[in-house]
């Protein structure tokens, strides 16, 4: 598979794929006899993983560290280090998901109670000092 096909498959630009390879975020792509990149299934898996991790907010530096570890000989230490990077990123994603869930729930609450809250302000039942304390609503 060539770079244009890969870019289309994963909805990326060819420049992004080249950048990821140039900055060692993905392992080097083998070249065919004409010098063009020839992507293997393993390369496609790397690109899919990197795209997914980037979408989740994983840093370039963390991706470079993970990819560098993958280039090392497979030893128990190398595998443990690579797995530790994944565990760290999973924790980061779970923390982000938790924060996003809290924000989503607050937004739903605000939307669901919006008309009632506006009515309380309009009627004078609530003012800036007597309105509900959102941080205590749970």
Q: What is the CATH number of domain 3-123?
A: 1.10.1660.10
Average pLDDT, the chain: 93
Mean pLDDT for 117-123 is 93
Residue 28 DSSP label = P
Output the CA angle 78-79-83, nearest 5 degrees: 120
The Cα-based distances of 107 to 21, 93, 127 in angstroms read 40, 21, 21
Mean pLDDT value across residues 6-15 = 98
For position 131, what pLDDT does the model report?
87
Q: Are 50 and 25 in contact (CB under 8 A)?
A: yes
Please compute Rg for the chain using Cα positions. 24
| Range of weakest confidence among 25-29, 34-38, 127-131 | 127-131
Tokens for 85, please give them: 């990077």
- Tokens for 76? 């128990």
The pTM of the whole model exceeds 0.85? no
Name the DSSP class of 126. Answer: -
Dist. CA 79–CA 51, nearest whole Å: 22
Of 22-31, 71-80, 93-102, 129-138, least confident by mean pLDDT is 129-138
pLDDT in tens, 37-85: 999 999 999 999 999 989 888 889 989 998 998 888 899 998 999 899 8
């Amino acid at each position: 598979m060539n770079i244009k096909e890969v870019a289309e498959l994963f909805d990326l630009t060819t420049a992004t794929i080249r950048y990821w390879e140039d900055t060692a975020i993905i392992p080097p792509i083998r070249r065919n006899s004409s010098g063009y990149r020839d992507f293997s299934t393993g390369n496609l898996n790397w690109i899919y993983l990197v795209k997914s991790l980037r979408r989740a907010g994983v840093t370039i530096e963390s991706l470079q560290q993970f990819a560098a570890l993958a280039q090392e000989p497979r030893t128990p230490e190398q595998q443990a280090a690579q797995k530790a990077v994944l565990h760290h990123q999973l924790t980061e994603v779970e923390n982000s998901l938790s924060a996003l869930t809290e924000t989503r729930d607050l937004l739903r609450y605000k939307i669901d109670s919006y008309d009632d809250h506006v009515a309380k302000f309009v009627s004078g039942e609530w003012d800036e000092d007597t309105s509900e304390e959102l941080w205590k609503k749970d």
